[in-house]
């Protein structure tokens, strides 16, 4: 027998030949287990992410096998490394090009706060220009921490309502960043 | 050691430019001159085109900021004579607020990049430069970050405040 663990079905009403549950739970389950990340790797955190994606830690176990290098097809923007102020507009453009639903993961001290680079040329945290869902602390974080951060994103995705972008709270958040 | 002694180089320069160029010193065997912006291009052109000296290679143009001096901004030229294996350094000090200096792009095309960088970080205006705009920093930056009055750390940053560390 195989010991592959499958995700449990969401709670619902089951009967002979039918299973009824909420659509957003099913969609959340599907989205959470097939997230396509866009690795925006600029420095050493990117190297750590490569280890996470390689066979030893294998982020593919969580359904993130397919790295998307086009923002149009990506669900999750993984920002890993120092973002200089000159790179800021590029990162923002990549975020704007992503289709809804979209999530952002900020990996490491530099992406989250500027890290040791408290200087004129470095953006002091990517949350100055785009909204962030999960921050991973560390300099750089170990692959286990990256997987933990990714699993937190999965939990967010599962509990997301079907049309997050129509919510006033979400629209207000984006408006505070001047997006849309 | 170079083919020409440093003393001979300095003698040639003082014979040509007399008292408009002063010798500051020779730290680590690097002759250092100081001059004004009126004759800097003449000095550089002489050093480059002299058939004996042949300082044909412009190693770097940079600047320095001494807030305590009357002439705060110093523009520094490093030249290298590849033929004679000699280096020389020329400094020009400018008053803050009037940091205009003629461009060296007519002598070396390589000065284009260096002068843009020096403008970017110190606000030195090289008159006659074909395209003097920022090169490394973001275009909409208003300050000159290598000047001493520019804060070393980002004032907007909150996670390094003392109360996070019980201080």
- The per-residue pLDDT for B5 is 86
Residue A152 forms part of a structural domain: yes
Residue A168 forms part of a structural domain: no
Q: Are the beta carbons of B8 and B52 closer than 8 angstroms? A: no
Residue A166 forms part of a structural domain: no
Count chain A–chain B contacts defined by CB atoms under 8 A. Answer: 30
Q: Does B152 touch chain A (CB under 8 A)?
A: yes
Residue A11 forms part of a structural domain: no
Question: Measured between alpha carbons, how far is A57 from B117 in angstroms, rounded to an integer?
Answer: 44
A residues 77-106 near B, CB within 8 Å?
85-86, 88
Mean pLDDT of A170-174: 90
Percent of chain A with pLDDT over 90: 73
Contact B157 A120 (CB under 8 A): no
**Is the four-CA dihedral A52, A58, A62, A65 of positive or negative sign?**
positive
CATH number of the domain bearing residue A68 = 3.40.50.12280
Residue A23 forms part of a structural domain: no
Residue A145 forms part of a structural domain: yes
**ipTM attached to this prediction:** 0.78
Percent of chain B with pLDDT over 90: 70
Residue A117 forms part of a structural domain: yes
- The per-residue pLDDT for B2 is 61
Output B69-76 pairs: Cβ under 8 A, ≥24 positions apart: B69/B93, B70/B95, B71/B95, B72/B96, B73/B99, B73/B122, B73/B123, B73/B124, B75/B40, B75/B101, B75/B118, B75/B124
Distance from CA of B102 to the nearest CA of A (A): 28
Residue A40 forms part of a structural domain: yes
Distance from CA of B121 to the nearest CA of A (A): 11
Query: For residue A169, how far is the Cα from the chain centroid?
Result: 19
Q: Which residue of A has its CA nearest to B138?
A: A86
Domain residues for A137? 34-158
- The per-residue pLDDT for A9 is 86
Contact A86 B150 (CB under 8 A): no
Q: Does A159 touch chain B (CB under 8 A)?
A: no
Contact B150 A121 (CB under 8 A): no
Our CA angle for A26, A29, A30, nearest 5°, is 90
Split into its structural domains, chain A has a count of: 1
**A63 closest CA partner among A45, A48, A76, A81:** A76
Tell whether the model's pLDDT for residue B3 goes beyond 80. Answer: no
- The per-residue pLDDT for B118 is 95
Residue A119 neighbours by CB distance under 10 Å: 14
Q: Are the beta carbons of B115 and B105 closer than 8 angstroms? A: yes
- The per-residue pLDDT for B92 is 95
Tell whether the model's pLDDT for residue B1 goes beyond 60. Answer: no
Q: Does B133 touch chain A (CB under 8 A)?
A: no
């Amino acid at each position: 027998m195989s010991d592959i663990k499958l995700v449990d079905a969401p709670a619902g009403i089951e009967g002979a030949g039918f299973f009824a549950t909420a659509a957003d739970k099913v969609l959340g389950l599907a989205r959470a287990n097939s997230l396509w990340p866009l690795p925006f790797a600029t420095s050493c955190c990117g190297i750590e992410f490569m280890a996470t994606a390689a066979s030893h830690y294998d982020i593919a176990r969580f359904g993130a096998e397919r790295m998307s290098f086009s923002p149009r097809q990506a669900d999750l923007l993984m920002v890993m490394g120092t973002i200089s102020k000159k790179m800021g507009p590029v990162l923002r453009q990549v975020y704007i090009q992503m289709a809804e639903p979209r999530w952002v993961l900020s990996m490491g001290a530099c992406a989250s706060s500027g890290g040791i680079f408290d200087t004129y040329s470095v953006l002091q945290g990517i949350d100055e220009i785009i909204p962030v869902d999960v921050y991973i602390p560390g300099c750089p974080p170990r692959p286990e921490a990256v997987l933990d951060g990714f699993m937190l994103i999965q939990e967010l995705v599962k509990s997301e309502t079907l049309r997050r972008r129509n919510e006033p709270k979400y629209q207000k958040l984006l408006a505070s960043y001047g997006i849309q | 050691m170079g083919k020409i002694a440093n003393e001979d180089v300095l003698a040639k320069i003082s014979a040509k430019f007399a008292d408009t160029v002063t010798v500051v010193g020779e730290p680590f065997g690097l002759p250092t001159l100081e001059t004004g912006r009126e004759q800097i291009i003449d000095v550089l052109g002489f050093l480059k085109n002299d058939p004996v000296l042949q300082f044909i290679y412009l190693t770097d143009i940079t600047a320095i900021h001494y807030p305590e001096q009357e002439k705060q901004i110093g523009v520094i030229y490093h030249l290298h004579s590849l033929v004679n294996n000699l280096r020389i350094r020329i400094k020009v000090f400018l008053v803050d607020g009037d940091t205009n200096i003629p461009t060296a792009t007519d002598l070396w095309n390589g000065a284009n990049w260096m002068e843009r960088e020096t403008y970017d970080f110190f606000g030195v205006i090289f008159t006659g430069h074909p395209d003097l705009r920022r090169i490394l920093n973001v275009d909409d930056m208003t300050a000159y970050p290598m000047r001493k009055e520019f804060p070393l750390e980002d004032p907007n940053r909150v996670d390094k405040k003392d109360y996070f560390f019980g201080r």
